Chains A and B, each alone.
Chain A
Amino acid sequence: MKPTTFFKRALALLAGSVLFGAGPVKLLNVSYDPTRELYQDINAAFAKQWKAKTGVDVEISQSHGGSSKQARSVIDGLQADVVTLGLAYDIDSIAEHAHLLPANWQTRLPNNSTPYTSTIVFLVRHGNPKHIKDWDDLVRPGVSVIAPNPKSSGGARWAYLAAWGYALKKNNGDDKKAQEFVTRLYKNVPVLDSGARGSTTTFAQRGIGDVLLDWENEAFLALDELGKDKVEVVTPSLSILAEPPVSVVDRVAAKHGTTQVAKAYLEFLYTAEGQEIGARHYYRPRSPEVAAKYASRFAKVQLFTIDEVFGGWQKAQKRHFDDGGVFDQIYLR
């Protein structure tokens, strides 16, 4: 055996024994920060269903972190069979920089490849001592707002855009006034954490801030974990329809021979069972039947989409979050 072959085999064995050992089919789902609990349940349910259908065991591994950071890892070679990230732009950048999936990935599954949606709500301290009811209350002097950094966190970008959209609507589409409003809002933000979960712990565990701008599902999870005697969820009058999309990473899945099971895994999210699991974890279901069944879980709130107000993620990203964009200008000032 040539030394290089030996080296290769030894490495392959080492990596293989960990990643692709004999036995069940293995899938890696690279996801964003708040979905840990959701996918624990989804994985178990899907594995059961797949076993019943095909007789094959499937083992799904999870990796979690800030949405953009996770996308970066996949670009750098993290072997994700599927990605389930916080916003479409992050999957776009995997397509753009690493060509691991086609640029039109978002058209391959129903509802913009978004099996569940969420929105941005406020988490406040018990009794709501600062009387925070709507976006206008966040820009009052003396209100301390906790939000993650829109540069690295998907949820933070949705939150920023939600505030911007609210201000636009309130000022009859005046872009300048919207920027003023968002600038005042971020003046009230003392710490920018890098991810949604980090911000939640800052607010809940370290007790910093009067209000946390957060994913709806993350806010309700915090409510369950911390107790109703500690925090309350406040839903604003208007917010954004946050669409965290999913996709098979074609080239990785093809190499692993997992394309079929990866597709089935994502399609499972759209089934009644998948939708119910999502709803139980406070993700808003797409299916009208499941939505009706869990209607009492979700406050009625007027939602606008990113396409309506900002013309899609590519445009929003370029204008607001790229280096030197509007966010840089308002946060530096």
Chain B
Amino acid sequence: MATVALELPRKRTSAIPRSIRRDPPLVRWGLTLLALLALGVFIVLPLVAVFVQAFAKGLPVYLAAIREPDTLSAIRLSLLAAGVSVPLNLVFGVAAAWTIAKFQFKGKSLLVTLIDIPFAVSPVVSGLIFVLIFGAQGWFGSWLIDHDIRIVFAVPGIILATTFVTFPFVARELIPLMQSQGSDEEEAALTLGATGWQMFFKITLPNIKWGLLYGVVLCTARALGEFGAVSVVSGHIRGQTNTLPLHVEILYNEYNYSGAFAVASLLSVIAVITLTLKKFLEWKTKEGASK
């Protein structure tokens, strides 16, 4: 068996110098083991710990923690925030990527930089921006109070903050993809008499669909998991303005460790689903590109 195993790689990798393949086994195995160990300690172990803690007091306690009204309200609010911000960022992201990838205009690089701002500033600062603008002492504070409109410390503020921090995900994903595809197919469609919308739905959208989904998945994951910016604008009213991540912190601070980890395990499950979808979509995007 050993000789067969040695035969195969030699044929495939003959371009690589022999010395690289001839590292002493100790080094090869040592490095592999080190990498696996790091992966295990920093990624797998914490994830396992979350689930172990969550189920430490048994399934009934776990289910009770999740069915608790404040937890359900946190789940609803997180879903609402993601449900509003993700479609908004989807429309915005496609429009921005389209503009940037298919047209030449002055100030294009400025626009690209602006899109990246939410990535560059700390989430806490993003949250404070909204308090400074919409807070009672802020620019529009007195006007908002006069008209009885609540933004910060209420649901609209949470949606705004979530939308702000997840702003770049879709656009960032689509810009390189659309740039690499060029506009030949669109031009052909227009020449053949397609209307603008026909061209978009029949040519552009099918071309970018996997990349778009990938962006949406990342955007959703971040929208559900955002802590910093939302924490600043939330006001932390139990059952009303607590999102899932904020609720985890509250439960932990109330000595309710199994509850905190039960809710944290929900977020971990979302993370695992996201990663699986991400992997699948990466594969689909590559497949689409190579066709």
Contacts and interface: CB of A to CB of B under 8 A. Distances in A.
Interface of A: 8, 11-12, 14-15, 18-19, 28, 33, 36-37, 61-65, 73, 75-79, 97-98, 197-198, 201, 225, 255
B141 interface: yes
Given A19-B240, A28-B237, A97-B137, A77 B150 contact: yes
Nearest to B84: A14
Contacts of A98: 136-137
24 contacts: A11-B150, A11-B156, A12-B148, A15-B149, A15-B156, A18-B241, A19-B150, A33-B253, A61-B237, A61-B239, A62-B237, A62-B238, A63-B235, A63-B236, A64-B236, A73-B235, A76-B136, A76-B137, A76-B152, A76-B153, A77-B145, A78-B153, A79-B154, A255-B148
Contacts of A97: 137
A11 B136 CA distance: 17
A78 B137 contact: no
B255 A225 contact: yes
B291 interface: no
Interface residues of B, number: 31
B161 to A, nearest CB: 14
Interface of B: 131, 134-138, 141, 144-145, 147-156, 235-241, 250, 252-255
A63 B151 CA distance: 17
A173 B187 CA distance: 88
A132 B154 CA distance: 46
Contacts of A33: 253
A75 B255 contact: no
Contacts of A78: 153, 235, 237
A252 B238 CA distance: 19
B152 A15 contact: no
Contacts of B141: 77
Given A19-B150, A78-B235, A61 B136 contact: no
B137 A18 contact: no
Contact of A18 (B152, B240, B250): B240
Contacts of B137: 75-77, 97-98
B75 to A, nearest CB: 14
A77 B238 contact: no
B238 A15 contact: no
Q: Which of B145, B147, B235, B250 has the most CB of A within 10 A?
A: B235
Given A14-B155, A15-B155, A19-B150, 12 more contacts: A11-B151, A12-B148, A12-B149, A15-B154, A61-B237, A63-B235, A64-B236, A76-B131, A76-B152, A77-B136, A201-B252, A201-B253
Chain A binding surface SS class = helix
Contacts of A14: 155-156
A18 B253 contact: no
B253 A77 contact: no
Going nearest first, the 4 A-B pairs with the smallest beta carbon separation are A77-B136, A76-B135, A78-B153, A225-B255
Contacts of A63: 235-238
A61 B238 contact: yes
Contacts of A76: 131, 135-138, 152-153
A203 to B, nearest CB: 13
B147 A8 contact: yes
B62 to A, nearest CB: 20
Nearest to A59: B239
B155 A18 contact: yes
A64 B238 CA distance: 9
A84 to B, nearest CB: 14
Contacts of A73: 153, 235
B150 A15 contact: yes
Contacts of A255: 148
Nearest to A221: B255
Contacts of A65: 236
A129 to B, nearest CB: 24
Contacts of A37: 254
Nearest to A100: B136
A220 to B, nearest CB: 13
B110 to A, nearest CB: 29
